[in-house]
Structure 1
Amino acid sequence: MIVGSVRDGRVGPTVARWFADEARTHGGFHVDVIDLLDYPLPLVIPAPGQFADPETTRIHEALAARIAAADAYVIVTPEYNHTLPAALKNTVDWVYAEWAAKPVGFVSYGGMSGGLRAVEHLRHIVAELHGVTVRESLSFHQVWEAFDGDLPRDREGSAAAAKGMLDRLVWWGRTLRAARLDRPYER
């Protein structure tokens, strides 16, 4: 799971903690939560054949290894200015080959749209990375009112939506892992 916001005062960690607990309860996953705040990649990506400074290289390699290790992903994202956060897009630009032939689900949050416009943009980006997005997603509209502390106010509805997406991710994750083992995916 990837927490896609790095802003001060962000709600992402609250949403991510709740969803990570749902994924653990589901039982089909080993949950690894990646908070992009812990991976401060610069906005300037080295040109082909050039290398980043040692600290950037260390951050990039550590993040790429965690993303590569997963068979499925959930991106937890807000919507900023009708799209995804810059830190999330920057991460995708730094770490891209690791997403190929793997499923991605989305948990979004925000105001009236609940982050759905960010998810729509992410669906296009994931397709470009050769990833597979699942149809089922979960969004929290007016997120500041949707949570009571660390839990959604609509616990039953939120849990049911989470289970639907997690069930689909298990199916796609297992299917695509078997396919990659049978025949490595070539980009």
Structure 2
Amino acid sequence: MRDRNGNGAQAPDRPLDVAVIIGSTREGRIGADVARWFTERAAKREDLVLDVIDLADYPDFPGSYPATPTGAMTRFTARIARADGFVVVTPEYNRSFPASLKQAIDFAYDEWHAKPVGYVAYGFDSRGLYAVEHLRCVFTELHAMSLRDWVGLHLVGESPGPHAERDERAVTALLDQLVWWGLALRDARARRPYTS
């Protein structure tokens, strides 16, 4: 078995490379705080290696899709290609996800194929459900495997309490599914290249 560059054998039990993508670039956002909360929990696992990709760190993404990829697009796409799976951290804006996230998703294509995608969403009463449902449609079109379980955080007007335990359980369920699908699909891609 060879790595994605064709060099040497991969250890089948090596940790899963997971890109955690912070989808909001809005000034005053709390997406980075939510991502930090999530990655603190995910980092306790020995079966994951995390790469946090904050879209706010790409101010040189083009405003419109160019004919030739820019350096920022190429760097972003390379990080997506390295990942075995993804966790998208997104707010819910007007019953969907931010335009900044859609733009970044569209910069890659083959790099998403046959890899699992999990979601950590936040918002008001819906806990980001509508953003997640829209993302599921987008990632299905990109031949990615959306995980069933997701983490939804209510961040407006809810005091600390019993929901904290529920959120912890949701993180565990998401990560367990991500690892299972990530390892299965990584093995499948190594044995047989994915075709769309």
- For normalisation by structure 2, the TM-score amounts to 0.85
Task: Provide the residue aligned with 1:89 in structure 2.
Answer: 102
Task: Provide the residue aligned with 2:85 in structure 1.
Answer: 72
Q: What aligned pairs does 1:1-187 form with structure 2 within 5 A after superposition?
A: 1-40=20-59, 41-46=61-66, 50-52=67-69, 57-141=70-154, 143-146=155-158, 154-187=163-196
Counterpart of 1:26, as a letter, is R
Deviations 1:12-71 (A, max 9, x none): 11110010111111322101110000123223112xxx325xxxx211111111111111
The number of aligned residues is 176
Q: CA deviation at 1:154?
A: 3.8
Q: CA deviation at 1:97?
A: 1.8
User: Which 4+ residue blocks in structure 1 deviate beyond 3 angstroms?
Assistant: 144-148, 152-155
Unaligned runs of 5+ in 1: none
In structure 1, what is the Cα distance between the partners aligned to 2:117 and 2:133?
13
Unaligned runs of 5+ in 2: 1-19
Deviations 1:78-122 (A, max 9, x none): 011111100000001112221100000000001121111010000
In structure 1, what is the Cα distance between the partners aligned to 2:192 and 2:32?
37
Deviations 1:105-149 (A, max 9, x none): 0000011211110100000000000000010101012x144587x
In structure 2, what is the Cα distance between the partners aligned to 1:174 and 1:146?
36
For the aligned residue pairs, the C-alpha RMSD in angstroms reads 1.6
- For normalisation by structure 1, the TM-score amounts to 0.89
In structure 2, what is the Cα distance between the partners aligned to 1:11 and 1:153?
22
Does structure 2 conserve the Cα–Cα contact (< 8 Å) formed by 1:105 and 1:134? Answer: yes
Q: Percent identity?
A: 47
